[in-house]
Structures are given as C-alpha cells and as structure tokens.
Structure 1
Amino acid sequence: MNKIKNACIVDDDDLFQFVMRQHFERLGMVENIHKFSDGEQALTYIRSNLQQPDLLPELILLDVNMPYMDGWQFMREFVKLDIPADKKIKIYILSSSTHESDLQKAKEFPVLAGYLVKPLSKQTIQQLLSELLPAHTD
C-alpha cells in the first residue's frame, strides 16, 4: 500500500498530538509523523529541508491558537518559502472555533487545503490521507 512519506502535526496540545499520532499509526498510511508544539518549530524543520524535498511534509495539520507562533503567523511565513515546484504540501488549519472571522481569515491563504474543526475523527484523517494517496507515487 502506498503511504504518505511525511506528515506534520503542529499543535501545542500534547493530548491532541497523541490522538492524531494514534490515528495515523492505526491507519498505517503515513511513514513519518513529525510533531511540533508551535509554528516556528515547524517552519524551522521545513526551511532546513527545502533542498531535500523527500523530507518535506505532504500534509500539515496546523492549529490556529498556539503560543509563540500561531497558525496565522506560520501561514504568513510559509507562503514566503521557496517550496520546490513539484512538491505538493496540503495544509489544513485546525481550530475549535467556527467563528466567522477565523473562517474569513483562512480564505486569505489560497494555499490552505481546508479549515477543520476539532476534534478530528479517525474517519476525517483517513479521508485526508486517502485524498493525498492517489496522486502520490513511489
């Protein structure tokens, strides 16, 4: 079975990271799961691997509300990066908020694949990963 090579969970909630990791592992659709507790850590990882596209994530689950660098700050910096043209990275904003201002802010970043409301079910994660797999070849 094909697998996503790299997925990132960017969230300051340890329990959420644990649950997402469990979903990923049980589904068996991701080789490497990278966890970061703020946007700056995730950006550092991505920047350090721009010359090694195989290490870049295909999927990023990005929390909106985090201390230090939140999801919106991450996105403002991410869009400035020179991601290799053949590397597709799907980023989903995560929030427990369905507030209209957050939904509108997400529309400011066309690179976002979607806005997901927590908690995420195993079925939602499976659907996101399945959408990535058909175009993914090894």
Structure 2
Amino acid sequence: MNVLIIDDNQIDLLINQRVVKNLMPEAEIKSCISAIDALKYLEYLHINQEFEKLPDIILLDIRMPIMDGFEFLEKLNESPSLKLKIPKVLLVTSSIDPLDVQRSNEHPLVKGFIGKPLKMNALQEIINKLNF
C-alpha cells in the first residue's frame, strides 16, 4: 500500500508517518510539506511511468499556505495520474469549521475527515470502512 501524507507542519508529518507505519508496517510512505510538492511528486511518477508508486491513500491537511487542501483536490481532479489510480483521500485537520466538513462530505475523492493529532484508532476505523 502506498500512502502520501501532505501537511505543512513537520511535527504533524512525523506524527502521521508514525501512526501510519504502526498501523500498516508494510506501507510505503511519501511525505510532502506542501500541496504543490505533492502535485509535483504525482506528476513525476506519471512522467516516469512509476505507476506502482501512485498513492492508494492520501492523508491531506486542509489549512496550508499557498495551496490549501481543497485547492489540491481540484488540481488532483485534473491530474492524469487520477485516470490510472484513484486514491482515497482522508482529510486530517485541526479545523472545526462546519463548512470544511460539508465540503469534504461533498467531494467524491474524500473518504474521511479526521481531527488532529492523527490517532491510530481513528485511522484504523476509516481504513476498516474502506476495506484496506
């Protein structure tokens, strides 16, 4: 399983990596400090035909500078890699804004909304629902 973690906070990236690795020791994890870096990574995989490395799951922060999580999702919809493999996106956020929850529920790629800090039981529950 390939997991892409996108968060602008280094500490949250480390926490999320550790939680994923503890829950899924076999997972290949790639972390990006920005949504732009994540899009560049996906483009790199596509250009170099490394399709086997495309993510199965994306853990995505909502509130990030320059490009937020929802803007990333819109760009992801335009990505040619999406035609090859559709990832399950889990929003991992400290946002309590009801509009963020509503937007995430309405987006077809988003399969879950998890509060920060990421906890293993919350991720496990969603992973079980997604049949991974």
Query: Shared topology, TM-score over 0.5?
Result: yes
* Equivalent AA in structure 1 for residue 10 of structure 2: D
* Equivalent AA in structure 2 for residue 62 of structure 1: L
8 Å Cα contact 1:90/1:112 also seen in 2: yes
C-alpha distance after superposition, 1:11-39 (max 9, x if no partner): 01111111111122223444321111110
Q: Superposed, which structure 2 residues align to 1:1-138 within 5 Å?
A: 4=1, 6-50=2-46, 51-83=49-81, 85=83, 87-130=85-128, 131-133=130-132
8 Å Cα contact 1:29/1:129 also seen in 2: no
SS of aligned partner of 2:3: strand
SS of aligned partner of 1:57: coil
Identify which range, 119-128 or 35-44, moves more after superposition.
119-128
Equivalent pairs: percent with the same residue?
27
Distance 2:22 2:105 in 1: 32
* Equivalent AA in structure 2 for residue 16 of structure 1: D
TM-score (ref. length: structure 2) = 0.84
Structure 1 runs not aligned, ≥5 long: 134-138
Q: 1:106 to 1:31 in 2, by over 3 A?
A: closer
8 Å Cα contact 2:6/2:61 also seen in 1: yes
Number of residue pairs matched by the alignment: 129
SS of aligned partner of 1:97: coil
Distance 2:98 2:131 in 1: 28
Distance 1:45 1:18 in 2: 19
Tell me how far 1:105 sits from its aligned partner: 2.3
C-alpha distance after superposition, 1:52-100 (max 9, x if no partner): 2201011100001111221111111001112364523111122212211
Structure 2 runs not aligned, ≥5 long: none
* Structure 1 vs Structure 2 CA RMSD: 2.0
